[in-house]
Every structure is written in structure tokens, then in C-alpha cells.
Amino acid sequence: MVRVKKMFMKVLLVVEMAAFGHLYFFGNNGIKALQNQKVVVVDLEKNITQLNDEVIQLEQEMHVWQTDDFYKEKIAREQLQMARKGDELFYIGT
């Protein structure tokens, strides 16, 4: 009887250790989930850096737009397709 009890306790201990190991590695807050979270954080940090660079570029472009008349005219002609009075327009289309 005592031997059966000891054997039963050993089996329960092994099962408990296996369950704990599974939860430790693959549970909701396990090692695998933390590694996935780290990958997400790195991707978000890259996106933040990229967006910050884009904001800086746009702020520089806004400053040039506000201070340089030649740049204003260039943007108006190229991107907004605007022209001054007396300009001859030529349309080359396909």
C-alpha cells in the first residue's frame, strides 16, 4: 500500500511538473507569448521612428513653403496644375 502511494505521488509530481512547464513556455503569459510581444514592440518602434522622420520632413517642407516664393510657385504649377495669367498652356496627353 505504501509503495503504491509513493508511486502515485511520483506520477502526480511528474504530471504537475509537465503541466507547469507547458504553462511556463506556452501559456498566455509564457515565454513564447513574451517573445511574440517583443517582436511586436520592435516593429512598433521602427514604425514610430519612420513616422517621426516623415513628420520632420513634412515640417521642413512646410517651412520652405512658408518662406520660399519660388517653391510655392513650383508646387502650384507642378502639383496643383495652376498657371498665372498670360501663361500659355500646352497639354500633351495620350
Residue 92 lies in a domain: no
Q: What is residue 31's predicted lDDT score, i.e. its pLDDT?
A: 86
Domain count, the chain: 1
All residues at 6 or more sequence positions from 71 whose CB lies less than 8 Å from its CB, including other chains: 64, 65
In a domain, 88, yes or no: no
d(CA 81, CA 52): 30
Whether 84 is covered by a domain: the verdict is: no
Q: 63 lies in which domain range?
A: 2-78
Alpha carbon distance 70, 65 (integer Å): 9
What is the pLDDT, as a whole number, of residue 50?
98
In a domain, 25, yes or no: yes
Cell numbers representing residue 84 in the block: 498665372
Residue 89: inside a domain, yes or no? no
Asked if residue 19 belongs to a domain, the reply is: yes
pLDDT tens, per residue, the chain with 94 residues = 888 888 999 999 999 999 888 888 888 888 888 899 999 999 999 999 999 999 999 999 889 888 888 877 777 777 766 666 666 666 666 5
Q: In this structure, are residues 62 and 56 in contact, taking their beta carbons and an 8 Å threshold?
A: no
